[in-house]
Amino acid sequence: MEKSSMQQRDVNSLNDAVCVFHQLVCKEPVPSVVEFAKLLRVMINMKEYSVVVSFFGEMRKLGIPFDDYILTIVINSFCLLGCAENRFSVLGVSLKSGVQFNVVTFSTLMRGLFEQNKIQDAMWLFRKLVKEKICKMDEVMFGTVMNGLCKQGHTQTALSLLRIMEQGDAKPNTVVYSIVVDAFCKKRMVEDAVDVLKIMVPKGEHPDVVTFNAIMEGYCLRGEIDVARRVLDSMIDIGVKPDIFSYNILVNGYCKQKKLDEAMHLYCEISQKGLKPDIVTYSTILQGLFEVGRVECSENFFTEMQNAGHSPDIYTCGIMLHGNDGFFKIQKLDKACSIFDKLYSVGLHPDVIRYNVTVNGLCIEGLVDEAKELLRKMEDNGCLPDNTTSNLIVNGLLKSNKTNEAMTLLKEIIQRGFAANKVTMSLLIELLLLIGEDASLIKHNSIPRYDHSESPSKGSHTIIAKAETPFPILIAIQRFSAWVPDIVTSVIKALKKWEKENEEKEEFEIDVLKELNDLSAEVISRTAFGSSFEEGKRIFVLQEQHISLTLQAMRSVYLPGFRYLPTKNNMTRWRLEKETRESVRKLIESSKGRENSKSLLSLLISASEEEHGFGMEEVINECKTFYFAGKETTSVLLTWTLLLLALHQEWQDKAREEVFRVCKGNNLPSAENLNDFKIVTMILNETLRLYPTIVALTRGTSKDIKLGDLEIPANTQFYVSVAAVHHDTEIWGKDALEFNPQRFAESRKHLASFFPFALGPRVCVGQNLAMVEAKIILAMIVKNFSLALSPSYVHAPTTRLTLQPQYGAPILFRKI
Ligand code: HEM
């Protein structure tokens, strides 16, 4: 067909439309407005709203006349494109061109403004129209305004407008009354809605099915499902025929109350009343059946739905896959996958959430390759994987020991700007440590976001492991090399203090438990909080007192609810808690603006500033966790190490020889040479094996699990004895109780034979920092002093949250 002679009726594509438009504008004389309006109408039907706007712009430039009908079409296009301001500019055009807007045009404009939440603009325009009598108000205009107001929660204003309407020419009809009834019902104010009914009926406006549906919904929202049912019956009695929405409201009400039999009964009633259940009816019941655990019923019902000619949509498939107890959650993988395939077969493209549920299911089943295949499929289908998808697959690969593949994928996702979540990080760090790589290679800037989708895993933990560590911290703490100079400075300061306090004597005795506790406090304070120990001192004192009271409480007989009673101890604990919070708060306040970016505190503060939901309370909690988790643990590790080296001179000599060699004489330890401290690391590990700082971990099962032949029910509490495993002769040989760092010269055969920092998702986030700190302190001590056990030492290991020498650790220091 010749393009030049195209007619309106030939417009099937955008190209055709452009051709026709050019023919129209070039014609002499210019065709009538009706011709242009027809073309614009076609464009609206083709959903080409921006083309309408651009044609209109062209018409104005060329001075082609237009009318109120064309303006309404243009405004409608702006509405559908969601540009409220532009609609106002059309209003300007109308005023300038002298083309009068009619009430339909203004109603369209008003609807658009409400849709865009521009209530003030809408109300300004409405008042202007009324005051200046720009156009005659009708029920549609009032209805539009009242609907807009009600949707934004301004029900009372809508009610006042209803009263005004009653006094004016445009009397409210059932549609208008129903808008207000519906608004009240949505707010569960059914009585107010019924009051509106009382006004409308005497005025001859009878409630229709929409009005009754609103009332039923109101009762359902209030949980008064039986009253809602009576409303349905009475509407039938007075001759108002319920529609499918009426039934769906009730079906939903019954399902919410887990009354599935009643819901099913109603479902049968739908057909008896000559109506057909729709996809909403089916999906509501499907969801309900899953929620009450009637999985088989839901499968049959799903089939029934398809037999009734309803192809499953994204929503119903979503319910079947991961609704409250969808197939994936109950591990019916084959069924879940077939539903997923169904989505493809009916040409529906699952969204990223559905993909993630499927990927998760596949990974749980160990089908990582299939999960990767799905990842490819999802990208082919134009659905971009998100953070969760990537993390799920990396985790799946790591758990299937496909480390290299996991690393490659991780690098790829980091390049794409995704964040690794905590579980991925823990697994990765564990693996990196296992293969001897530096975990700090995962740079801070590559994994910067705090993933709020993470929820703390269930189960019990020791007192330190209560909260999920935020991402910035998790990552920052792996960048320990930046803190090495701070740690070295703290150690130099401590060594000088020890010498000074002992009047520069050649040999002196110190209780290393106390001194190392102070040093470790200084280190954690400097590195993590950028402030000196002195500033944080008050917090440590309070923490010590708190711990001691907590220990007392733990050792006494447990009475349920006792911890809430205002006993003397509880009141002191509450006061200490309050004072601790206050001190941390002050420290945070005084640190603001003068922190350097590498400190944990500044990271926490910026996390709280950047991230919604991570507020000052979380900052305080994290600070407390780190003070608590990082101080005593490291100091007791060093205390036992010094005690063991004081007893085992040969290892002390070996360590010293290594330190001098690595530090090339008198140099200080640095980030670059820390990895060369092999013997020092072996000594620290052997100490952690013999005297694990945390002797036991507590864990709980969140669901029934099978461990070998053992079936363990959900909510079983476990007490995992780290010390028992570390001292097991079957694992460590006959000399398991001997101090022999040599055993750590080779890599361990079994990961779970040595876990002083725990394993898995709740692994200690500070383990690298702890080891770096311990290496530096130990290296600098043995480099400057030779150690011998004091005759006053009494060997009595005891557990005070951490494993400690009960009567302290007096050691004789001799200057080298
Ligand atoms: C020798 C030193 C350390 C040892 C032996 C140690 C040991 C542990 C253990 C066994 C856990 C797991 C507890 C459980 O889940 O029940 C843990 C958790 C934790 N540790 Fe350490 N830790 C040490 C040093 C540190 C340091 C220096 C920091 C911080 C600067 C730290 C911060 C944490 C945190 C925040 C947790 C909780 C992790 C979570 O559950 O998400 N730890 N530590």
CA of 219 to the centre of ligand 1 (A): 52
CA of 806 to the centre of ligand 1 (A): 22
- Considering only CA atoms, which residue is closest to atom 31 of ligand 1? 766
Q: What angle do CA 796, 554, 624 make, to 5 degrees?
A: 90
Q: Which atom of ligand 1 is nearest to the CA of 456?
A: 41
- Considering only CA atoms, which residue is closest to atom 20 of ligand 1? 764
Report how far residue 221's alpha carbon sits from residue 217's, in angstroms, rounded to the nearest whole number.
Answer: 6
CA of 215 to the centre of ligand 1 (A): 56
Cβ-proximal residues to 262 (8 Å cutoff; 6+ apart), any chain:
254
User: Annotation-wise, does 764 bind a ligand?
Assistant: yes
CA of 758 to the centre of ligand 1 (A): 8
- Considering only CA atoms, which residue is closest to atom 42 of ligand 1? 766
Q: Which atom of ligand 1 is nearest to the CA of 694?
A: 10
pLDDT of residue 179: 92
Q: Which atom of ligand 1 is nearest to the CA of 422?
A: 41
pLDDT of residue 331: 56
Report how far residue 11's alpha carbon sits from residue 284's, in angstroms, rounded to the nearest whole number.
Answer: 42
Helix (H/G/I), strand (E/B), else coil: 754: coil
User: Per the omega criterion (within 30 degrees of 0), is the bond before 29 cis?
Assistant: yes
CA of 126 to the centre of ligand 1 (A): 63
Please, which residues bridge with residue 812 across strands? 509, 788
Cβ-proximal residues to 195 (8 Å cutoff; 6+ apart), any chain:
none
Question: Left if phi > 0, otherwise alpha if psi is -120 to 50, otherwise beta: which for 214?
Answer: alpha
The segment(s) of the chain belonging to CATH 1.10.630.10 are 463-530+595-815
Q: Which atom of ligand 1 is nearest to the CA of 469?
A: 41
How many Cα atoms are found within 13 Å in the side-chain-facing hemisphere of 202? 5
CA of 359 to the centre of ligand 1 (A): 31
- Considering only CA atoms, which residue is closest to atom 30 of ligand 1? 630
Q: Which atom of ligand 1 is nearest to the CA of 466?
A: 40
Please check whether residue 71 is in contact with residue 101, taking contact to mean a CB–CB distance below 8 angstroms: yes
Q: Which atom of ligand 1 is nearest to the CA of 468?
A: 41
Report how far residue 92's alpha carbon sits from residue 284's, in angstroms, rounded to the nearest whole number.
Answer: 48
What are the tokens at 740?
């022999």
| β-strand pairing of 785-789 with 705-707 | unpaired
Please check whether residue 622 is in contact with residue 477, taking contact to mean a CB–CB distance below 8 angstroms: no
Q: Which stretches of the chain score pLDDT less than 50?
A: 1-4, 324, 433-468, 471-472, 475-476, 532, 595, 612
User: pLDDT digits over 106-134, tens only?
Assistant: 787 778 778 777 777 778 778 877 777 77
Tell me phi and psi for residue 348, to 5 degrees. -95, 140
What are the tokens at 163?
């009263």
Helix, strand, coil percentages (3-state) for the chain, rounded to 5, are 65, 5, 30
Q: What angle do CA 133, 136, 142 make, to 5 degrees?
A: 105
DSSP, res 745: S
Report how far residue 495's alpha carbon sits from residue 92's, in angstroms, rounded to the nearest whole number.
Answer: 80
Choose one of 422, 454, 464, 762 to mutate for the ligand 1 pocket test, by most ligand atoms within 8 angstroms of C-beta.
464
Helix (H/G/I), strand (E/B), else coil: 502: coil
Q: How far is CA 661 from the centre of its chain?
A: 49
* CB atoms near residue 269 (< 10 Å): 15
Tell me phi and psi for residue 307, to 5 degrees. -65, -30
Q: What angle do CA 589, 593, 598 make, to 5 degrees?
A: 100
CA of 630 to the centre of ligand 1 (A): 7
Quickly tell me which residue has 């700090």 as its tokens: 440
Sort 272 into a burial class: Cβ within 10 Å, 0-12 / 13-18 / 19+.
exposed
pLDDT of residue 551: 65
Q: Which atom of ligand 1 is nearest to the CA of 688?
A: 5
Please, which residues bridge with residue 805 across strands? 797
Q: What angle do CA 21, 23, 25 make, to 5 degrees?
A: 70
User: pLDDT digits over 554-589, tens only?
Assistant: 656 555 555 566 677 778 878 887 887 787 777 777
Q: Which atom of ligand 1 is nearest to the CA of 524?
A: 30
Q: Give, in order, the Cα–Cα distances in Å from 509 to each of 329, 503, 634, 647, 791.
A: 61, 12, 21, 15, 10
Pick the CATH number of 1-136 from 3.30.1330.200, 1.25.40.10, 3.40.50.2000, 3.30.1330.10: 1.25.40.10
Q: What angle do CA 360, 362, 368 make, to 5 degrees?
A: 105
Quickly tell me which residue has 């409400």 as its tokens: 114
The segment(s) of the chain belonging to CATH 1.25.40.10 are 1-136
| β-strand pairing of 710-712 with 705-707 | antiparallel
Round to the nearest angstrom and report the end-to-end CA distance of the chain. Answer: 102
Q: What superfamily would CATH give domain 463-530+595-815? A: Cytochrome P450 (1.10.630.10)
List pocket residues of ligand 1, CB cut-off 6 Å. 461-462, 464-465, 468-469, 524, 528, 625-626, 629-630, 633-634, 637, 693-694, 697, 756-758, 762, 764-766, 769-770
CA of 726 to the centre of ligand 1 (A): 18
Q: Which atom of ligand 1 is nearest to the CA of 697?
A: 16
Please check whether residue 553 is in contact with residue 569, taking contact to mean a CB–CB distance below 8 angstroms: yes
- Considering only CA atoms, which residue is closest to atom 17 of ligand 1? 764
What are the tokens at 158?
């809508």
Please check whether residue 714 is in contact with residue 702, taking contact to mean a CB–CB distance below 8 angstroms: yes
Choose one of 426, 633, 681 to mutate for the ligand 1 pocket test, by most ligand atoms within 8 angstroms of C-beta.
633
- Considering only CA atoms, which residue is closest to atom 21 of ligand 1? 764
Helix (H/G/I), strand (E/B), else coil: 40: helix
CA of 608 to the centre of ligand 1 (A): 23
- Considering only CA atoms, which residue is closest to atom 27 of ligand 1? 630
* CB atoms near residue 267 (< 10 Å): 20
CA of 763 to the centre of ligand 1 (A): 7
* H-run or E-run covering 304: helix 295-307
Size of the chain in residues: 816
CA of 766 to the centre of ligand 1 (A): 6
- Considering only CA atoms, which residue is closest to atom 9 of ligand 1? 757
What are the tokens at 554?
């733990």
Cβ-proximal residues to 25 (8 Å cutoff; 6+ apart), any chain:
58, 59, 62, 64
* CB atoms near residue 706 (< 10 Å): 8
| β-strand pairing of 810-815 with 507-511 | antiparallel
- Considering only CA atoms, which residue is closest to atom 3 of ligand 1? 633
CA of 464 to the centre of ligand 1 (A): 7
Q: Which atom of ligand 1 is nearest to the CA of 631?
A: 27
pLDDT of residue 577: 79
Q: What angle do CA 520, 524, 530 make, to 5 degrees?
A: 140
- Taking each helix axis as running N to C, give the angle between helix 767-784 and helix 649-662, from 0 to 180 degrees, rounded to the nearest 10: 100
Choose one of 477, 764, 768 to mutate for the ligand 1 pocket test, by most ligand atoms within 8 angstroms of C-beta.
764
